[in-house]
Protein backbone atom coordinates (compact mmCIF):
# COMPACT_ATOMS: atom_id res chain seq x y z
CA UNK A 1 0.00 0.00 0.00
CA UNK A 2 2.85 2.39 0.76
CA UNK A 3 4.32 1.78 -2.68
CA UNK A 4 1.03 2.78 -4.31
CA UNK A 5 0.93 6.02 -2.30
CA UNK A 6 4.56 6.82 -3.13
CA UNK A 7 4.01 6.04 -6.83
CA UNK A 8 0.86 8.19 -6.89
CA UNK A 9 2.63 11.08 -5.11
CA UNK A 10 5.53 10.82 -7.55
CA UNK A 11 3.21 10.84 -10.56
CA UNK A 12 1.32 13.86 -9.20
CA UNK A 13 4.60 15.64 -8.55
CA UNK A 14 5.79 15.01 -12.10
CA UNK A 15 2.45 16.20 -13.48
CA UNK A 16 2.74 19.41 -11.47
CA UNK A 17 6.27 19.99 -12.73
CA UNK A 18 5.19 19.32 -16.33
CA UNK A 19 2.29 21.77 -15.96
CA UNK A 20 4.59 24.42 -14.47
CA UNK A 21 7.09 24.01 -17.30
CA UNK A 22 4.30 24.14 -19.88
CA UNK A 23 2.84 27.36 -18.45
CA UNK A 24 6.24 28.96 -18.10
CA UNK A 25 7.22 28.35 -21.72
CA UNK A 26 3.80 29.02 -23.21
CA UNK A 27 3.44 32.44 -21.51
CA UNK A 28 6.99 33.69 -22.03
CA UNK A 29 9.07 34.16 -25.18
CA UNK A 30 11.67 31.45 -25.80
CA UNK A 31 14.72 32.05 -23.66
CA UNK A 32 17.37 29.88 -22.16
CA UNK A 33 16.20 29.46 -18.59
CA UNK A 34 17.74 27.62 -15.68
CA UNK A 35 16.21 24.30 -14.70
CA UNK A 36 13.71 24.80 -11.85
CA UNK A 37 15.04 23.70 -8.48
CA UNK A 38 12.05 21.41 -8.00
CA UNK A 39 12.89 19.52 -11.21
CA UNK A 40 16.50 19.09 -10.11
CA UNK A 41 15.37 17.83 -6.70
CA UNK A 42 13.00 15.30 -8.30
CA UNK A 43 15.71 14.08 -10.68
CA UNK A 44 18.08 13.58 -7.76
CA UNK A 45 15.49 11.57 -5.86
CA UNK A 46 14.68 14.17 -3.21
CA UNK A 47 11.10 14.96 -2.36
CA UNK A 48 10.10 18.49 -3.34
CA UNK A 49 6.81 20.30 -3.49
CA UNK A 50 7.00 22.64 -6.47
CA UNK A 51 4.93 25.80 -6.50
CA UNK A 52 2.67 26.16 -9.49
CA UNK A 53 2.81 29.67 -10.90
CA UNK A 54 -0.49 31.31 -11.76
CA UNK A 55 -1.07 31.31 -15.50
CA UNK A 56 -0.30 34.65 -17.08
CA UNK A 57 -3.24 36.58 -18.52
CA UNK A 58 -3.46 36.50 -22.29
CA UNK A 59 -3.45 40.30 -22.57
CA UNK A 60 -0.36 42.33 -23.40
CA UNK A 61 2.24 41.70 -20.75
CA UNK A 62 4.87 44.28 -20.02
CA UNK A 63 7.66 42.45 -18.31
CA UNK A 64 10.63 43.88 -16.51
CA UNK A 65 13.72 43.50 -18.68
CA UNK A 66 15.96 40.63 -17.60
CA UNK A 67 18.88 41.68 -15.47
CA UNK A 68 22.49 40.86 -16.12
CA UNK A 69 23.88 37.55 -15.02
CA UNK A 70 25.45 37.54 -11.60
CA UNK A 71 28.88 36.81 -13.04
CA UNK A 72 28.83 40.00 -15.07
CA UNK A 73 27.26 41.96 -12.23
CA UNK A 74 29.93 40.73 -9.79
CA UNK A 75 32.64 41.70 -12.24
CA UNK A 76 31.20 45.20 -12.52
CA UNK A 77 31.22 45.71 -8.75
CA UNK A 78 34.93 44.95 -8.58
CA UNK A 79 35.94 47.38 -11.34
CA UNK A 80 37.96 50.41 -10.40
CA UNK A 81 37.33 53.75 -12.14
CA UNK A 82 39.93 53.28 -14.93
CA UNK A 83 38.85 49.67 -15.43
CA UNK A 84 35.22 50.75 -15.55
CA UNK A 85 36.02 53.37 -18.20
CA UNK A 86 37.79 50.69 -20.24
CA UNK A 87 34.83 48.35 -19.80
CA UNK A 88 32.38 51.05 -20.95
CA UNK A 89 34.53 51.86 -23.97
CA UNK A 90 34.80 48.17 -24.84
CA UNK A 91 31.02 47.74 -24.68
CA UNK A 92 30.49 50.85 -26.84
CA UNK A 93 32.91 49.47 -29.44
CA UNK A 94 31.06 46.14 -29.46
CA UNK A 95 27.76 47.95 -29.99
CA UNK A 96 29.21 49.99 -32.83
CA UNK A 97 30.46 46.80 -34.50
CA UNK A 98 27.01 45.25 -34.13
CA UNK A 99 25.37 48.20 -35.92
CA UNK A 100 27.44 47.53 -39.05
CA UNK A 101 27.00 43.76 -38.85
CA UNK A 102 24.65 41.96 -41.23
CA UNK A 103 24.13 39.25 -38.61
CA UNK A 104 20.43 38.73 -37.78
CA UNK A 105 21.38 38.24 -34.13
CA UNK A 106 22.88 41.75 -33.95
CA UNK A 107 19.62 43.54 -33.14
CA UNK A 108 18.67 41.20 -30.25
CA UNK A 109 22.20 41.57 -28.87
CA UNK A 110 21.91 45.35 -29.01
CA UNK A 111 18.45 45.31 -27.47
CA UNK A 112 19.61 43.11 -24.60
CA UNK A 113 22.19 45.76 -23.74
CA UNK A 114 19.36 48.24 -23.08
CA UNK A 115 19.08 46.49 -19.70
CA UNK A 116 22.67 47.20 -18.64
CA UNK A 117 22.90 48.80 -15.19
CA UNK A 118 25.33 51.44 -16.52
CA UNK A 119 23.41 54.43 -17.97
CA UNK A 120 26.23 55.25 -20.39
CA UNK A 121 26.09 51.76 -21.91
CA UNK A 122 22.28 51.93 -22.09
CA UNK A 123 22.57 55.23 -23.99
CA UNK A 124 25.06 53.67 -26.40
CA UNK A 125 22.69 50.71 -26.92
CA UNK A 126 19.84 53.10 -27.63
CA UNK A 127 21.96 54.95 -30.20
CA UNK A 128 22.96 51.64 -31.79
CA UNK A 129 19.29 50.62 -31.98
CA UNK A 130 18.47 53.82 -33.84
CA UNK A 131 21.44 53.33 -36.18
CA UNK A 132 20.25 49.83 -37.08
CA UNK A 133 16.87 51.37 -37.91
CA UNK A 134 14.85 48.17 -37.63
CA UNK A 135 11.19 48.72 -36.68
CA UNK A 136 11.22 45.34 -34.90
CA UNK A 137 12.92 47.15 -32.00
CA UNK A 138 9.88 49.32 -31.26
CA UNK A 139 8.06 46.86 -28.93
CA UNK A 140 11.23 46.30 -26.92
CA UNK A 141 11.78 50.06 -26.68
CA UNK A 142 8.17 50.57 -25.55
CA UNK A 143 8.71 47.97 -22.83
CA UNK A 144 11.94 49.69 -21.83
CA UNK A 145 10.09 53.03 -21.74
CA UNK A 146 7.56 51.58 -19.30
CA UNK A 147 10.33 50.54 -16.89
CA UNK A 148 12.73 53.48 -17.21
CA UNK A 149 13.06 55.60 -14.07
CA UNK A 150 15.13 58.53 -15.34
CA UNK A 151 13.00 61.18 -17.12
CA UNK A 152 15.85 62.04 -19.52
CA UNK A 153 16.20 58.39 -20.42
CA UNK A 154 12.43 58.15 -21.01
CA UNK A 155 12.63 61.11 -23.41
CA UNK A 156 15.56 59.53 -25.27
CA UNK A 157 13.72 56.22 -25.59
CA UNK A 158 10.55 57.96 -26.82
CA UNK A 159 12.63 59.92 -29.36
CA UNK A 160 14.12 56.63 -30.60
CA UNK A 161 10.64 55.10 -30.93
CA UNK A 162 9.40 58.16 -32.83
CA UNK A 163 12.40 58.03 -35.16
CA UNK A 164 11.93 54.34 -35.90
CA UNK A 165 8.25 54.93 -36.67
CA UNK A 166 9.08 57.46 -39.39
CA UNK A 167 8.64 56.30 -42.98
CA UNK A 168 11.83 55.74 -44.99
CA UNK A 169 13.44 58.86 -46.49
CA UNK A 170 12.95 57.66 -50.08
CA UNK A 171 9.21 57.32 -49.45
CA UNK A 172 9.00 60.85 -48.04
CA UNK A 173 10.97 62.20 -51.01
CA UNK A 174 8.78 60.40 -53.57
CA UNK A 175 5.63 61.65 -51.84
CA UNK A 176 6.96 65.22 -51.87
CA UNK A 177 7.81 64.99 -55.57
CA UNK A 178 4.41 63.51 -56.30
CA UNK A 179 2.70 66.30 -54.38
CA UNK A 180 4.60 68.95 -56.38
CA UNK A 181 3.88 67.34 -59.75
CA UNK A 182 0.38 66.15 -58.91
CA UNK A 183 1.30 62.57 -59.82
CA UNK A 184 0.31 59.48 -57.87
CA UNK A 185 3.11 58.53 -55.41
CA UNK A 186 4.57 55.06 -55.90
CA UNK A 187 3.56 52.44 -53.37
CA UNK A 188 5.92 52.28 -50.40
CA UNK A 189 8.61 49.61 -50.44
CA UNK A 190 8.11 47.00 -47.77
CA UNK A 191 10.94 46.31 -45.33
Least confident range from 76-80, 135-139, 152-156: namely 76-80
- 134-137 long-range contacts, CB within 8 A, separation 24+: 134/107, 134/164, 135/164, 135/165, 135/191, 136/107, 137/107, 137/110, 137/111, 137/164
Confidence of residue 120 (pLDDT cuts 50, 70, 90): very high
Confidence of residue 188 (pLDDT cuts 50, 70, 90): low
State how far the Cα of 87 lies from the Cα of 72, in Å rounded to an integer.
11
Confidence of residue 52 (pLDDT cuts 50, 70, 90): low
Predicted TM-score (pTM) of this structure:
0.52
Q: What is the per-residue DSSP string for 41-71?
A: HHHTT----PPPPPPPPSS---PPPPPPPHH
Is residue 159 helix, strand or coil? helix
Confidence of residue 62 (pLDDT cuts 50, 70, 90): very low
For the chain, what is the mean pLDDT? 74
Q: What is the pLDDT of residue 35?
A: 53
Amino acid sequence: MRIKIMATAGAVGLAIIAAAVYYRFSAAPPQSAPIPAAAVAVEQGAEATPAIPAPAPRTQIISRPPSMTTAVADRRVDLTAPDHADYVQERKTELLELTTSRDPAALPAILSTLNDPDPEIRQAALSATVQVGNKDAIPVLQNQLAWADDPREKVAIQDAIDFLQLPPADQIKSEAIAAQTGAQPPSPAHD
